[in-house]
């Protein structure tokens, strides 16, 4: 990536999911890219998982095999440039802050809607990391006691009502209630319907899909009001894959947000915007974080 946030080249590689294969993929891809772009000063690695506060170790990642692994120490010995590790939601937030929807916002929150909810926040222009480096887990706030089961082990988490996956669960519950006739009903009962299908059906005016989207909007508004109550941000940026369907739900979610926040009508309300960098936000953000770290520390590769 260039200094102005422009992606110069992309490469993708696959692995069998083992630590060895993933690390080899990172090293080989980095070597190939640096052969083509020798001016590259640093390598950024955005990981969806829990990192330590120093961003050296991946403590746990639900979809990756690293467990309490000092990834920076291990990979730095083998990589041709200094490596910076960062949480993927923090990376996306930094990307939006430097080059996207959050430019100029000092106190703001990223609320990323995908299969679950990813979150990050910036305070006074810095990523807020908490005491132990754990990014905010908006998705796992309990909103329905003893509600829908969540993969985190709890019940009634916000992301079980407000995410791409939740759209399908809600649509399936509505279909099972028999209240709506819909061509989606059979697929929902068989488990073959995706969030994208529900969105597409809602666009075509399917009443069941529209009811599922309306429910999603209400939960999103409530989620935003909780974020507003805790952090009082100037801006909330909605990112993640579900952001592309924002025209279907954002106005209703904003209305619910304005209704639900404590002191409604008597306080300034955070602006709510859609992310601008899409799926590239994390990649752009972590590249910029890595380059800045090298520039400020004077680190050079050995
Ligand atoms: Zn949960």
DSSP 199-245: HHHHHTT-HHHHHHHHHHHHHHHHHHHHHHHHH--SEEEEESGGGGG
Residue-level pLDDT at 301: 47
Low-confidence residues of the chain: pLDDT under 50: 301-302
67: β partners: 60
What's the CA-to-centroid distance between 207 and ligand 1, angstroms? 29
**pLDDT single digits (tens) 251-268:** 999 999 999 999 999 999
Alpha-carbon gap, residue 210 to 249, rounded angstroms = 10
**Ligand 1 centroid – CA 153 distance (Å):** 6
pTM for the model stands at: 0.92
CA distance 34 to 77: 16
What does the block give as tokens for 281?
């936000």
* pLDDT tens-digit series, residues 72-84: 999 999 999 999 9
Distance 107 CA to ligand 1 centre (A): 26
pLDDT at 62: 80
Q: Which residues does 243 contact at the CB level (< 8 Å), separation at least 6?
A: 112, 113, 274, 275, 278
- Record the tokens describing residue 131, joined without a space: 């005491």
136 Cα to the center of ligand 1, angstroms: 13
| 204: Cβ contacts below 8 Å, ≥ 6 apart | none
State the pLDDT at residue 299.
56
Q: How far is the CA of 143 from the centre of ligand 1 (A)?
A: 10
């Amino acid at each position: 990536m260039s200094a102005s946030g422009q992606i110069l080249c992309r490469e993708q590689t696959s692995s069998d999911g083992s630590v060895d294969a993933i690390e080899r993929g990172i090293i080989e891809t980095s070597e190939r890219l640096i052969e083509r772009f020798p001016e590259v000063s640093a390598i950024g690695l955005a990981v969806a998982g829990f990192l330590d506060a120093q961003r050296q170790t991946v403590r746990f990642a639900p979809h990756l095999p690293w467990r309490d692994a000092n990834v920076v120490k291990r990979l730095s010995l083998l990589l041709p440039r200094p490596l910076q590790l960062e949480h993927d939601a923090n990376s996306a937030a930094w990307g939006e802050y430097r080059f996207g929807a959050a430019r100029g916002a000092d106190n703001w929150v990223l609320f990323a809607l995908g299969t679950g909810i990813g979150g990050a926040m910036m305070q006074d222009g810095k990523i807020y990391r908490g005491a132990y480096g754990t990014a905010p887990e908006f998705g796992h706030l309990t909103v329905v006691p003893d509600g829908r089961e969540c993969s985190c082990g709890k019940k009634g988490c916000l992301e079980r009502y407000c995410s791409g996956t939740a759209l399908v669960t809600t649509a399936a519950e509505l279909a099972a209630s028999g209240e709506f006739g819909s061509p989606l009903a059979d697929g929902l009962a068989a488990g073959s319907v995706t969030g994208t299908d529900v969105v597409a059906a809602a666009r075509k005016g399917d009443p069941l899909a529209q009811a599922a989207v309306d429910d999603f909007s209400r939960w999103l508004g409530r989620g935003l009001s909780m974020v507003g109550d805790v952090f009082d941000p100037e801006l909330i940026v909605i990112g993640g894959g579900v952001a592309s369907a924002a025209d279907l739900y954002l106005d209703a979610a904003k209305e619910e947000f304005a209704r639900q926040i404590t002191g409604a009508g008597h306080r300034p309300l955070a602006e709510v915007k859609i992310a601008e960098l899409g799926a590239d936000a994390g990649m752009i953000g972590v590249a910029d974080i890595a380059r800045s770290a090298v520039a400020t520390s004077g680190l050079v590769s050995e």
